[in-house]
Amino acid sequence: MNAFAPPQPALAQPGATRRFSHVAIVGKYHAPGSRDAVEALAQFLHSEGCDVSLEAETALNTDLTHHPALSVESIGRQCDLALVVGGDGTMLGLGRQLARFNVPVVGINQGRLGFITDIRWDTFAEVLRPMLHGLYTEERRTLMAAKVMRDGRCVFEATAMNDVVVSRGSVASMIEMRVEVDGHFVANQRADGLIIASPTGSTAYALSAGGPLIHPAIEGWLMVPIAPHTLSNRPVVLPSQSEVAVEIVSGRDASANFDMQSLASLLHGDRIVVRRSEHGLRLLHPMGWSYFDTLREKLHWNEGV
């Protein structure tokens, strides 16, 4: 399957019993009720004949010591499926780390929105059972590889699944950024910041800044200005093979963050360089899953109709 092809159904072979034998659970362990949720999921997996391990921090913070505890790297090397119990933030954190191991991930939503953790907690058993036996839809989500260059050397680097955001600090003034795509000058932009988002991230910060939604099967980046000084400065969709560079020209307390979880303070002359990561996240959905069903539910389309 092409690494960034549209979602495709996977079907169990005749006579197949269980496709996934060693399953890891990653929980949003600081959320109320997380211990009971992780334990209930582990018991369900055992009843389906799966070996179960817990991500090390999940095991430590839920005090569930009767399951093997594994680091994320060990999950990537030893498990053939990871279940994320929480919200999209939990999924983003794990997805960035697991992508390089090519381990498929399923999201069970205990958060608020759940664009990529799309299985409701109250239905997890009935939905997961056929998935464990090979009946699911699989898609790949692109990741971004980003770095901060200062005086010709890399001073910070990170991977992002949603977006890379360059923004001003708490000072009530704009920053000026020189933007290049594939080495070609685009513009000097004065704004509160600039968002470079993947299709996954098009439903996050980029959406609230006025950007369009991008279907996850599209190989593209979204470049969205945050409160630009020039109102004709509009969102632009770029090929995901493009390299985007943003140089800080002027402004105070500028910073770059990556999925809102990694942060780098910026100086004038710093360049934030973003390109497509060589890794993509394998995301599994129930059979019949539709991206548009997710949008309709999470964005409350058709309400009042």
**Cβ distance 88 to 259 under 8 Å?**
no
Catalytic residue among 36, 51, 80, 88: 88
Sheet holding 236-239, edge to edge: 236-239, 220-226, 193-197, 163-167, 255-258, 262-265
The answer to whether residue 88 is catalytic is yes
297: Cβ–Cβ under 8 A, 6 or more apart, which residues? none
Q: How many CB atoms lie within 10 A of CB 205?
A: 21
Residue type, 275: R
Query: For the chain, how far is it from start to end, CA to CA, in angstroms?
Result: 39
What are the φ/ψ torsions at residue 203 (nearest 5 degrees)? -100, 10
Residue of 151, 163, 173, 219 whose CA lies nearest to 195? 163
Q: Is 46 helix (H, G, I), strand (E, B) or coil?
A: helix
Residues labelled catalytic: 88
